[in-house]
Amino acid sequence: MEIPHKVRMGGHTITVVMDPKLAQTEDAVGLYEHERLRIRVQSDMLQTLKEEVFIHELVEAACVFGEIELDHSQLQTLAVHLHQALTSSEGSS
Ligand SMILES: [Zn+2]
C-alpha cells in the first residue's frame, strides 16, 4: 500500500512524515504527535513494516480524537488486522 503524505481525520489533516532518525531521537519507530497533527514513521524499514507502523499511529490518532482508551496490545492488534485487510483486498466494488 502507498503511505499517504496527508490523511484527513475528523475535519483535521494529519501530516505523515518519514523520519530517518526517529528511532535514535525518540526510541520508537512510529509516533503520533497530536499537538502538531503529525505522524512520524522511521524511514529505513521494510515497506510492510512502515505500513503497519503508519496504521498503528493512525489508530493512535483515532483513539485520541475519540477519547478511546485501549491498552497498547489491543491497539496493535487492531493495526495488524487493518493492515492485512487494506493490503490483501482485491478489486473494487
Ligand atoms: Zn503505539
pLDDT surpassing 70 at residue 57: yes
- Give the pLDDT of residue 93: 61
Region 65-85 average pLDDT: 96
Instruction: Note whether residue 41 is domain-resident.
Output: yes
Ligand 1 mean position, distance from CA 6 (Å): 19
Instruction: Note whether residue 69 is domain-resident.
Output: yes
Q: What is the DSSP track for the chain?
A: -PPPSEEEETTEEEEEEEETTHHHHHSSSEEEEGGGTEEEEESSS-HHHHHHHHHHHHHHHHHHHHT----HHHHHHHHHHHHHHHHH--S--
Ligand 1 mean position, distance from CA 56 (Å): 6
* Domains: count for the chain: 1
The pLDDT tens digits for 22-44 are: 999 999 999 999 999 999 999 99
Ligand 1 mean position, distance from CA 39 (Å): 11
Instruction: Note whether residue 93 is domain-resident.
Output: no
Ligand 1 mean position, distance from CA 89 (Å): 25
- Give the pLDDT of residue 90: 82
CA atoms within 13 Å, Cβ hemisphere of 40: 16
Provide the whole-model pTM: 0.93
Instruction: Note whether residue 18 is domain-resident.
Output: yes
Measured torsion, CA atoms of residues 77, 79, 80, 86, in degrees rounded to the nearest 10: 140
Ligand 1 mean position, distance from CA 60 (Å): 6
**15: containing domain:** 6-88
pLDDT surpassing 70 at residue 92: no
Instruction: Note whether residue 1 is domain-resident.
Output: no
Give the strand pairing for 38-42 and 12-19: parallel
Instruction: Note whether residue 17 is domain-resident.
Output: yes
Ligand 1 mean position, distance from CA 92 (Å): 31
